[in-house]
Amino acid sequence: MLFQRRLLQAMLVLIALAALLAVVATFFRLGDAIARLAFTLTVAAIAAGAARGTARTLDREDSRPLGLAGLGVITVTAVLALLGIWLPMLVKGRDAEFGLTPLVFLPFALGGLSGVPVARLAGGWLSGRVVIAAAGAGGALALLALWSAPLRIAGGERLFATALLVVGVGLAAAASLFGHPKGLARVAWLGPVPGAVALIAGIGVIWSDQPPSALVIALADGLALAIAVGLVNAVAHVPVPAGWRWLKAASAASTCAATVLFMFISHGTDGFTAPLWPDLLSRMFGASVIVASAALLAVALVAAFNRRPLLTRTQAVASLGGLDVICPRCTRRFHAGRGQSACPGCNLLVIVQLAEPRCPTCEYTLLDLRAAACPECGEPVAATLANATVRSPV
């Protein structure tokens, strides 16, 4: 907490100094150095603010790796931004490269950072690492493309296109691998295999002046299959009530329909080089993409709105006072009331929250229920208890 307060104070001071220098530079025309100093203080203030939010994750053991990685991204981005502010004074003619370097680095770094919590989820061991690897490789290629002219490397635009291809294939592969223990299930590789084909074919298409139509078709088919398998697998792992599972089936069906139509069009037009006939196919493809997008959004909304807060103030739990616990640190037995209590032996804080479980579909109480499913609507009890969200205070 002290660290966060210090960061907040530093952020406020830096913002004030940056504003003061900017005002001075505006009125007194003191030159380029004052403006750069104001930008420096602004970058430092933004970095301090971002670090303050990230520092909260360092307090918990389960989120500490994400917090450390986030602080690393913030530090590297701030250093690159500061170099972009001051180095153009020494190296003339490279303002664009220095200025764009942190802007190119940050989105790829944030993409790789998103793989850290994914890798810690059940079934996300391999998919999280694929996200990190794809973002790292894509970021390196994008930075190389940005600096291709000063480094005298030909094909800067092609390098950037390759970076986007690597990230796209990597994300599709990660979505396909999610939910499978270390990605060993055979069905998990239905996405990465066509993704690898798309990556190889795509590199050939990008770096060829006149790529053959077969290579373009291989790129289109492989990428479409990889994305489709990734989306279907991701939707399959989204928890929704039993009454809404038809929506997941509709999302998967519309995604598969759009993929089949896209592949048919790519073959029918000889790699998008010949006119499409009949025109109805393109309209059907557009309609299937719209339906698939809408179904995917609907699944996400249903999952979000069904993560309901725990019912901590109902009559069923109002009379319950707390728990008799044994301190895991000093082994002293004591009574922990609802809310926050302290162990009388070592002052370890213990937080107790009691809630009545309810079915997310029909609101039937699951307290004292011995059945495996809700007797009213058939929603599995185990899935309901696993997806309960702690939001309301005790």
Q: For residue 338, what are its two tokens?
A: 């609802």
- Other C-beta atoms lying within 10 Å of the C-beta of residue 110: 13
pLDDT score at 33: 72
Determine the Cα–Cα distance for residues 261 and 228; give it in Å rounded to an integer.
Answer: 12
Element (H or E) spanning 37, and its range?
helix 32-55
Q: Which of 40-49, 210-219, 379-388 has the highest mean pLDDT?
A: 210-219
pLDDT score at 166: 96
Please check the confidence at residue 310 and state whether its pLDDT lies above 80. Answer: no
Q: Which residues contact 26 (CB under 8 A, 6 or more apart)?
A: none
Please check the confidence at residue 153 and state whether its pLDDT lies above 60. Answer: yes
What is the reported pTM? Answer: 0.75
Determine the Cα–Cα distance for residues 47 and 155; give it in Å rounded to an integer.
Answer: 34
pLDDT score at 160: 94
Q: What tens digit of pLDDT does each residue of 335-357 get? A: 888 888 889 999 998 888 888 88
**More confident of the two residues 134 and 385:** 134
* CA distances in angstroms from 339 to 233, 281, 321, 331, 391, listed in the order given: 39, 61, 10, 20, 14
pLDDT score at 308: 61
Please check the confidence at residue 115 and state whether its pLDDT lies above 80. Answer: yes
Contact 36, 89 (CB under 8 A): yes
Q: Which amino acid is at 382?
A: A
Q: Which residues contact 323 (CB under 8 A, 6 or more apart)?
A: 335, 336, 352
- Whether a cis peptide bond, with omega within 30° of 0, leads into 102 is no
CA-closest candidate to residue 220, choices 142, 156, 285: 285
Determine the Cα–Cα distance for residues 267 and 92; give it in Å rounded to an integer.
Answer: 50
Determine the Cα–Cα distance for residues 363 and 361; give it in Å rounded to an integer.
Answer: 6
Q: What tens digit of pLDDT does each residue of 176-215 get? A: 888 765 444 555 677 889 999 999 999 999 999 888 888 9
pLDDT score at 388: 62
E strands within the chain?
Answer: 322-326, 333-337, 339-342, 349-352
Mean pLDDT of 235-259: 87
Determine the Cα–Cα distance for residues 302 and 322; give it in Å rounded to an integer.
Answer: 34
Q: Which residues contact 279 (CB under 8 A, 6 or more apart)?
A: none
pLDDT score at 194: 92
Please check the confidence at residue 391 and state whether its pLDDT lies above 80. Answer: no
pLDDT score at 133: 95
Listed by start position, the domains of the chain span 1-92, 315-386
At 307, the pLDDT band (50, 70, 90 cuts) reads low
At 387, the pLDDT band (50, 70, 90 cuts) reads low
Determine the Cα–Cα distance for residues 57 and 63; give it in Å rounded to an integer.
Answer: 5
Q: What tens digit of pLDDT does each residue of 15-30 get? A: 777 677 667 666 665 5
At 392, the pLDDT band (50, 70, 90 cuts) reads very low
**More confident of the two residues 106 and 22:** 106
pLDDT score at 87: 80
Q: Which amino acid is at 313?
A: R
R_g over Cα of the chain: 27
At 278, the pLDDT band (50, 70, 90 cuts) reads low
SS3 of 139-201: the string is: HHHHHHHHCCCCCCCCCHHHHHHHHHHHHHHHHHHHHHHCCCHHHCCHHHHHCHHHHHHHHHH
Instruction: For 317-337, give the DSSP string.
Output: HHT--EEEEE-TTT--EEEEE
Strand partners, 322: 337
CA-closest candidate to residue 173, choices 235, 237, 248, 223: 223
Please check the confidence at residue 312 and state whether its pLDDT lies above 70. Answer: no
| Averaged confidence pLDDT in the chain | 82
Q: Residue 339 carries which DSSP code?
A: E
Q: For residue 70, what are its two tokens?
A: 């986030």
pLDDT score at 292: 93
